[in-house]
Amino acid sequence: MSINFPLILVLGTAGTGIVWLIDLILLRPRRLLAAAAMSEKLGSGESTDEVVNKLLKEPLLVEYAVSFFPVLAIVLVLRSFLFEPFQIPTGSMIPTLEVGDFILVNKYAYGVRLPVIGTKIFEVDDPKNGEVMVFIPPHEDEYFIKRVVGIPGDRVRYEDKNIYVNDQKQAQVFVAQIPPDRPQYLVYKETLGGQDHLIHRNTFRDTRTQEWVIPDGYYFMMGDNRDESSDSRYWGLVAEENIVGKAIAVWLHKEPGLRLPGFSRNSWIH
């Protein structure tokens, strides 16, 4: 079971905020009154100042809450409404994204949503064919990242490893076979929704023909590593309310094992 970090962040921000507010409204005025009364009773002097300072000192819980609340609140706003980091866990988007890539997800590109519950409160734009999107799939409570292949109203057909959208074949141009002598996979440049990107295909033909009609409020997603991707071909469509955001950039890469992260793969995502 994965850790629900957004929920933890919301609860942490709310908890520290409530403690800070209780101190501001109830506890701090009491400390000020007690300190003023003690100062009047004892008069001036170093011993009085010491006693007064102890009376004014915030409890440890309040001290921590006041320190952490603004930090948590800023992180909550940034992560929930602006940008969220995400690490690529699998090779389903190779060659566009590799395992170990750290990417930046634009959280407001497809509308501003409330954290945790995901309710859209402000419209911005809708996903378009060819864009790379982070979402929660229907079969698993985890972030997935794939390319948008079908939007509401589209008829998507997958035939002989080619994509047809509304009966229009999306262009694929052969680039290379790797390795050249005994190829394990083929590299193509695909144009989808006006977006050019590279895809990987294995060397075997696929004689199946699959077709889907995309209803309102749903999206059809596929990985760029076409024969090594768990996507809408297998577990179905992605509901609009499960959209997380648009993947926009690779900002860091970390190879598996005891290796330092690097910036050699930094780039915009297309």
Q: Point out the residues that are catalytic.
A: 92, 146
**How buried is 81 (Cβ within 10 angstroms: 0-12 exposed, 13-18 middle, 19+ buried)?**
middle
Q: Please state, as a whole number, how many other Cβ atoms lie within 10 Å of the Cβ of residue 260.
A: 6
The tokens for 45 are 């002097």
Phi and psi angles of residue 41, each rounded to the nearest 5 degrees, phi first: -75, -40
CA distance 255 to 240: 33
Nearest residue to 107 (alpha-carbon basis) of 92, 124, 88: 124
SS3 97: coil
Please check whether residue 10 is in contact with residue 115, taking contact to mean a CB–CB distance below 8 angstroms: yes
CA distance 146 to 131: 9
Give the CA distances from residue 118 to residues 15, 69, 112, 139, 172, in Å, rounded to whole numbers and listed in that order. Answer: 21, 23, 9, 17, 36
